[in-house]
Amino acid sequence: MTSNLTMPNMLTPKEAAYREMEIPGFPRKIEIADLRKFIRTRLSQTAVLWPEQAIRLLGYMCYPNDKKAREDFVLTLRSWREASEDAPPTIPGKLGRIQKDWLRVADILHLLCDLAEGRHQARRGGPSVGKAITLVEVNAKSWGTKASSLWRIWSTYKNVAHVIAAATLICAEARNMSRNQPFGPLGLSVNQIISFQMAMLMPDLVLAVALEFERLGLSVVPHARTEPALDPETLWRIPPDINVAPFPILIRKIRAQDLHVLNNRRAGHRGKAKVPKTTHR
């Protein structure tokens, strides 16, 4: 994962009043120099090295807008931990739907970053969530990927989109590694490699990658708007004292056929979010 990302803009007075996830910092500074070595080391066993950070992180990822549900979920994860110290938790069935939604959220944010860093659509208002959703809708082949559904999913998870995108990107990398060379008899099999497990077993890596998604998402300001693509007031930001160094993300080249789709996108048919933004703590 490499990128030449620009430095973030200085915070305005309005942006200064942001909210942070309540995740404890790591006891020592974590800097990831070799991504593949780091992943292989962690996924070659199933011990949860940083349970409190992982559990708190997953609470925000699953329930960003419902404090009571988030707190209950954190208690549930802790009970799993106490019941089986050496085994990764069993994933409840309801998380299947959540993780499918995470894939869409990750697609949207990563495409938004690709558009921004590639400086695409400058004459058509610049990069935007709406344009990223258009590309996801056009390219997706599964159920539930109409623009209206994508806007609903984005509205639900946009305030944790940076950590969701990080976990999803790491999951894809880990699956590719496992297919080429399994993680061993004590490690995760390829079918066990899901975004939930990435956050549970490698919260430090997820947060390191998420720091870059957070920075870039807050720097993308669509044309004729004053707010970044990620709302600076409602985004659940990573605490600055988390003690993790940011890790660069992969910026992909936008395909010619996707640029063609965006160039043909009618000005009056760009799609709008149907769900009002949520600001629950």
Q: Per-residue pLDDT tens for 143-161?
A: 567 889 999 999 999 999 9
**Position 111 pLDDT exceeds 80:** yes
Residues of the chain above pLDDT 70, percent: 75
Answer yes or no: is 121 within a domain: yes
Residues in CB range of 188: below 8 A, 6 or more apart: 43, 46, 88, 174, 178, 197, 201
For 46-67, what is each residue's pLDDT tens digit? 999 999 999 999 999 999 999 9
Answer yes or no: is 240 within a domain: yes
Answer yes or no: is 165 within a domain: yes
**Position 127 pLDDT exceeds 90:** no
> E strand or H helix at 248, and its extent?
none
pLDDT at residue 17, rounded to an integer = 63
**Position 128 pLDDT exceeds 90:** no
Answer yes or no: is 255 within a domain: yes
Mean pLDDT, residues 74-85 taken together: 75
Answer yes or no: is 244 within a domain: yes
SS3 2: coil
More confident position, 237 or 121: 237
Answer yes or no: is 205 within a domain: yes
Calpha distance 38→35 (Å, rounded): 5
pLDDT band at 2 (very low <50, low <70, confident <90, very high): very low
Answer yes or no: is 281 within a domain: no
**What pTM did the predictor assign?**
0.82
**Position 266 pLDDT exceeds 70:** no
Could you tell me the residue range of the domain that residue 75 belongs to?
Answer: 13-263
**Position 270 pLDDT exceeds 80:** no
Please count the structural domains in the chain: 1
Answer yes or no: is 275 within a domain: no
